[in-house]
A and B are shown apart, each in its own frame.
Chain A
Amino acid sequence: DTGVSQNPRHKITKRGQNVTFRCDPISEHNRLYWYRQTLGQGPEFLTYFQNEAQLEKSRLLSDRFSAERPKGSFSTLEIQRTEQGDSAMYLCASSLLETGSTDTQYFGPGTRLTVL
């Protein structure tokens, strides 16, 4: 257990529905990342936050994907109008950026999404 938690662990939804996932990072970590992983592939970066600021979001897969980190603590990832191709594992990671550190990312257990 790295200290990063994600909920729910599994989500099954019907095509066209909206889904929201939550990530709680390690408490003192100021950076939070979202990745997507499909079967047999390595994780693919989606977006990241430093505190509450979303510093990179160009890698979000489409405008149906959005993420928030309103108070600089937990984060949510929302997918609107889900499609079958959105079925994947969604991973969250957090890190502590400070002077002289190497900003090592620690991953949560992931949320597995299945779109029927």
Chain B
Amino acid sequence: LAKTTQPISMDSYEGQEVNITCSHNNIATNDYITWYQQFPSQGPRFIIQGYKTKVTNEVASLFIPADRKSSTLSLPRVSLSDTAVYYCLVGYNNAGNMLTFGGGTRLMVKP
């Protein structure tokens, strides 16, 4: 499975847009990119998944350049409740996907 690299932590303020970038230089042709959010003492929550270009849902947007060696999770107008750890993962799901989590990015949203 492709290894991912993301910042250990980020700070932001309420109302700002937050962009978290993940590097995955060894991504394979069949790999998808998936982001999860985790609050303390809870299980990870699926946020968004994409293969190429841009994906948007009610929570976030995911930007993937043409070479797919990185991706950026964009959270519009964050609030205090967006304070969490965000994990970027890549893998080929239908092959029997054991998700490999890295350390994630700890986002702190300040008032």
A2 CA to B104 CA, complexed, in Å: 21
Which of A13-21, A41-49, A75-83 has 4 or more CB atoms under 8 Å from chain B?
A41-49
**Residue from B36, B43, B45, B94 having most chain A Cβ neighbours under 10 A:** B43
Q: Does B49 contact A (CB under 8 A)?
A: yes
Q: Does B13 contact A (CB under 8 A)?
A: no
Interface hits, B1-55 → A, CB 8 Å: 32, 34, 36, 41-46, 49
Q: Smallest distance from the beta carbon of B44 to chain A beta carbons, Å? A: 5
Write out the residue numbers on chain B whose beta carbons fall within 8 Å of the beta carbon of A89. 41
Write out the residue numbers on chain B whose beta carbons fall within 8 Å of the beta carbon of A108. 43
- Check A107–B32 contact: CB distance below 8 A: no
Cβ contact of B97, chosen from A42, A92, A103, A109, cutoff 8 A: A103
Q: Assuming A104-B46, A110-B43, is B100 touching A45 (CB within 8 A)?
A: yes
- Check B87–A33 contact: CB distance below 8 A: no
- Check B46–A110 contact: CB distance below 8 A: no
Q: Does B99 contact A (CB under 8 A)?
A: yes
Q: Interface size on A (CB < 8 Å)?
A: 32
Cβ contact of B99, chosen from A2, A41, A43, A55, cutoff 8 A: A43
Interface hits, A25-40 → B, CB 8 Å: 33, 35, 40
- Check A59–B98 contact: CB distance below 8 A: yes
A-B contact list, 28 entries, CB within 8 Å: A2-B43, A4-B43, A33-B98, A35-B99, A40-B103, A41-B103, A42-B87, A42-B101, A42-B102, A42-B104, A45-B99, A50-B96, A56-B96, A56-B98, A89-B41, A92-B43, A93-B99, A95-B93, A95-B97, A102-B32, A103-B94, A104-B34, A104-B93, A105-B97, A105-B99, A106-B46, A110-B41, A110-B43
Which B residues fall within an 8 A CB radius of A?
32, 34, 36, 41-46, 49, 87, 93-94, 96-104
Which A residues fall within an 8 A CB radius of B?
2, 4, 33, 35, 40-45, 48, 50, 55-56, 59, 89, 91-93, 95, 97, 101-110, 112
